[in-house]
């Protein structure tokens, strides 16, 4: 990496060819061994690991819009593993490990920035929850500890220690907490996958899934029909709609999630700070903007429109946390679609259709799972449906067995 | 703020309402198997369409049914559940000896 960067810097010509990251659009073939529906982070990561580790390159990634233009572009780019359930912690800890190496692996800077995440406790119950999370994190190799108000003051001097009359009693300090450029993650995976022979087809929408005797045989697209050996669905935000085309229902309800960002200011906030009681998290990007996020909208909707109510509620609490930002101007606001499950864990693995694999239910926790998700989904496909240990607990079947994975640490806001 | 037409209270702010899930056909809870019950509880259509949903007006604890488009967020109609349900579902099981 450093040498190529040096070479780039000393080059008098702009090395244009090398930046033509993706092969130009080619005609769709009539058959692929694996069709991945959804060209977001998860989809291209699955294609990348299929090609890299399993030698499966007759793969098409079909994307109805453009690469990484869906929820990959709409999340707030938080990476962490300080979850509550052993299943969740094991899974996300692996993801953090992979994330740390991605820039080197891609030879492409994903701007990984490990600045730590601080979650605030305003009640005794929250402190008890934090103790449990610390213990489980440490056991499975994550980096979390419980810190007291004095340590919090030193870490984040600008924080109001009594926001909305709810004193900050303790903090869950997760040193593994990080951010990365979400677009770059998708681009890096796509570049790595396509250079190994995978085809990425943008503006290619799947309009129907053909299932015969519980096996998927082909997908219909707006560019024609493709027969396929296996299908992976990785379309967060539209999981239920695609699954309906394959003939089954999912344990998912889709809610909008809104976020917003201010004009840039000088750096003053190093860690990412979240308060579950105030339904709010705040972080400062490397460009200096403050990013605010909160909980999903109060009721389901397939629209990324913005509402004044959410902005008022979220920003009132953000100003409680950081009174000094009250005069700052918002620059941008956006929304994404979150496929929420009732236990705040994903739905991964097998589906009622034999060779149709699910990567769904990514609610508000999809971006941080991108690498491990791609890796395990690739194992699943290459193993012809042998489910990797790491994702066994997240099977759709768990809902029929009443064996949910209750992930209370899933979001900064909803619990 | 978005307004929702409550059949009991008229137009009220949407913040007074709580979403209660899709209106579904409930399986016979005394005779269905666990799988059927799980399907009823956890699995949803979650479609982009005009859907029929339960809503609660929280301040008056009044449950009603709304028909709403899940892409435009437009309420087509709201009405009292009596339009759809005429009998009460009894969940009480067989009487246990000790409770007599």
pLDDT of A407 reads 87
pLDDT of A6 reads 81
Residue B80: CA count within 13 A, CB half-sphere: 7
Q: Are A289 and A282 in contact (CB under 8 A)?
A: no
**CB–CB contact A400 B34 (8 Å):** yes
Judged against a pLDDT cut of 70, whether residue A178 lies above it is answered with yes
Q: Which of A256, A400, A406 to mutate to test the interface with B (most CBs of B within 10 A)?
A: A400
pLDDT digits (tens, 9 = 90+) for A152-175: 999 999 999 999 999 999 999 999
pLDDT of B94 reads 63
pLDDT confidence bin for A361, thresholds 50/70/90: very high
Instruction: Spell out the residues 6+ positions from residue A34 whose beta carbon is closer than 8 angstroms to its own.
Output: A47, A50, A56, A58, A59, A60, A228, A229, A230, A231, A232, A381
**Which whole number is the average pLDDT over A267-286?**
94
Q: What is the DSSP string of A344-394?
A: S--EEEE-SSTTEEEEE--TTTSGGGHHHHHHHHHHHHHTTT---GGGGGG
Whether A298 contacts chain B with CB within 8 A: yes
How many of the other CB atoms lie within 10 Å of CB of B93?
Answer: 8
**CB–CB contact B39 A400 (8 Å):** yes
pLDDT of A16 reads 52
Distance separating alpha carbons of residues A276 and A133, to the nearest angstrom: 14
> Running DSSP on this structure, what letter comes out for residue B40?
H
**CB–CB contact A249 B48 (8 Å):** no
Judged against a pLDDT cut of 50, whether residue A28 lies above it is answered with yes
Helix A86-106 crosses helix A182-194 at what angle (to 10 degrees)?
Answer: 70
Within a domain: residue A315? yes
Distance separating alpha carbons of residues B70 and A337, to the nearest angstrom: 12
Within a domain: residue A138? yes
pLDDT digits (tens, 9 = 90+) for A48-102: 999 999 999 999 999 999 999 999 999 999 999 999 999 999 999 999 999 999 9
Q: Are A413 and A293 in contact (CB under 8 A)?
A: yes
> In 3D, which of A162, A180, A111 has the Cα closest to residue A367?
A180
Q: B75 vs chain A: nearest CA distance in angstroms?
A: 12
Judged against a pLDDT cut of 90, whether residue A368 lies above it is answered with yes
Chain-centre distance for alpha carbon A209? 25
User: What residues make up the domain containing A321?
Assistant: 115-176+253-340
pLDDT of A11 reads 78
Structure token pair of residue A55: 């030698």
Judged against a pLDDT cut of 70, whether residue A414 lies above it is answered with no
pLDDT confidence bin for A123, thresholds 50/70/90: very high
pLDDT of B29 reads 87
pLDDT of A15 reads 57
pLDDT of B87 reads 87
Within a domain: residue A267? yes
pLDDT confidence bin for A12, thresholds 50/70/90: confident
Q: Which of A238, A250, A299, A406 to mutate to test the interface with B (most CBs of B within 10 A)?
A: A299
pLDDT of A408 reads 74
pLDDT of B90 reads 82
Q: Are A255 and A380 in contact (CB under 8 A)?
A: no
Q: Which of B17, B21, B42, B69 to mutate to test the interface with A (most CBs of A within 10 A)?
A: B42
Within a domain: residue A151? yes
Q: Would you tell me which residues 334-353 of chain A have a C-beta closer than 8 angstroms to some C-beta of chain B?
A: 342
pLDDT of A207 reads 97
Q: Would you tell me which residues 225-254 of chain A have a C-beta closer than 8 angstroms to some C-beta of chain B?
A: 240-241, 244, 249-254
Within a domain: residue A257? yes
Within a domain: residue A336? yes
Question: What's the domain count of chain A?
Answer: 1
The chain-wide mean pLDDT, for chain A, equals: 93
Q: Which ranges of chain B have pLDDT less than 50? A: 100
Judged against a pLDDT cut of 50, whether residue A191 lies above it is answered with yes
- The structural domains of chain B, ordered by start, are 3-84 (3.30.2270.10)
Residue A139's domain is classified under what CATH number? 3.30.9.10
pLDDT confidence bin for A19, thresholds 50/70/90: very low
pLDDT of A410 reads 65
> In 3D, which of A250, A216, A211, A249 has the Cα closest to residue A231?
A216
pLDDT of A225 reads 96
Strand A356-360 relative to strand A347-350, pairing = antiparallel
**CB–CB contact A400 B72 (8 Å):** no
Within a domain: residue A129? yes
pLDDT of A22 reads 67
Whether A302 contacts chain B with CB within 8 A: yes
By percentage, how much of chain A surpasses pLDDT 70? 95
pLDDT confidence bin for A18, thresholds 50/70/90: low
Judged against a pLDDT cut of 60, whether residue A21 lies above it is answered with no
Distance separating alpha carbons of residues A301 and A257, to the nearest angstrom: 10
Residue for token pair 């809610």: A255
Within a domain: residue A279? yes
Judged against a pLDDT cut of 70, whether residue A1 lies above it is answered with no
**CB–CB contact A400 B19 (8 Å):** no
**Which whole number is the average pLDDT over A215-235?**
97
pLDDT confidence bin for A383, thresholds 50/70/90: very high
């Amino acid at each position: 990496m450093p040498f190529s960067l040096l070479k780039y810097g000393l080059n008098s010509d702009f090395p244009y060819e090398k930046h033509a990251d993706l092969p130009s659009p080619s005609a769709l073939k009539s058959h692929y061994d694996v069709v991945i529906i959804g060209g977001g982070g998860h989809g291209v990561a699955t294609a990348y690991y299929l090609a890299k580790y399993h030698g499966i390159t007759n793969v098409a990634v079909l994307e109805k819009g453009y690469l990484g233009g869906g929820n990959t572009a709409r999340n707030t780019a938080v990476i962490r593993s300080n979850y509550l359930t052993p299943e969740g912690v094991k899974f996300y800890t692996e993801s953090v490990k992979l994330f740390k190496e991605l820039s080197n692996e891609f030879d492409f800077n994903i701007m990984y920035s490990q600045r730590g995440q601080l979650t605030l406790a305003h009640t005794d119950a929250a402190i008890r929850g934090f103790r449990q999370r610390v213990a489980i994190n440490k056991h499975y190799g994550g980096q979390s500890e419980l810190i007291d108000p004095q340590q919090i003051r030193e870490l984040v001097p600008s924080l109001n220690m009594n926001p909305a009359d709810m004193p900050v009693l303790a903090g869950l300090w997760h040193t593994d907490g990080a951010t990365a450029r979400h677009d770059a993650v998708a681009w890096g995976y796509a570049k790595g996958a396509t250079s190994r022979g995978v085809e990425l087809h943008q503006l290619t929408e799947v309009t129907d899934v053909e299932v015969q005797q519980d096996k998927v045989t082909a997908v219909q697209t707006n560019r024609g029909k493709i027969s396929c050996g296996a299908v992976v669905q990785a379309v967060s935000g539209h999981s239920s709609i695609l699954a309906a085309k394959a003939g089954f229902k999912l344990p998912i309800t889709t809610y909008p999630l809104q976020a917003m960002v201010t004009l840039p200011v000088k750096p003053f906030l190093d860690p990412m700070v979240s308060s579950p009681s105030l339904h709010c998290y705040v972080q400062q990007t490397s460009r200096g903007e403050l990013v605010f996020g909160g909980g999903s909208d109060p009721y389901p909707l397939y629209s990324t429109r913005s509402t004044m109510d959410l902005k008022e509620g979220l920003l009132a609490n953000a100003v409680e946390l950081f009174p000094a930002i009250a005069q700052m101007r918002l620059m941008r606001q956006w929304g994404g679609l979150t496929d929420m499950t009732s236990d705040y864990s994903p739905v991964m693995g097998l589906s009622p259709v034999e060779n149709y694999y699910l990567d769904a239910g990514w609610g508000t926790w999809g971006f941080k799972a991108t690498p491990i998700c791609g890796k395990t989904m690739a194992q699943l496909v290459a193993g012809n449906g042998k489910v990797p240990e790491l994702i066994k607990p997240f099977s759709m079947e768990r809902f029929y067995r009443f064996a949910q994975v209750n992930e209370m640490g899933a979001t900064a806001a909803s619990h | 703020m978005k307004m929702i037409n409550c059949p009991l209270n008229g137009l009220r702010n949407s913040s007074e309402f709580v979403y209660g899930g899709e209106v579904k056909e409930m399986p016979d809870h005394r005779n269905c198997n666990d799988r059927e019950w799980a399907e009823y509880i956890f699995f949803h259509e979650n479609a982009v369409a005009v859907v029929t949903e339960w809503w609660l007006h929280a301040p008056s604890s009044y449950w009603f049914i709304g028909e709403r488009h899940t892409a435009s967020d437009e309420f087509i109609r709201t009405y009292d559940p009596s339009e759809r349900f005429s009998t009460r579902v009894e969940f009480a099981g067989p009487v246990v000896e000790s409770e007599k």
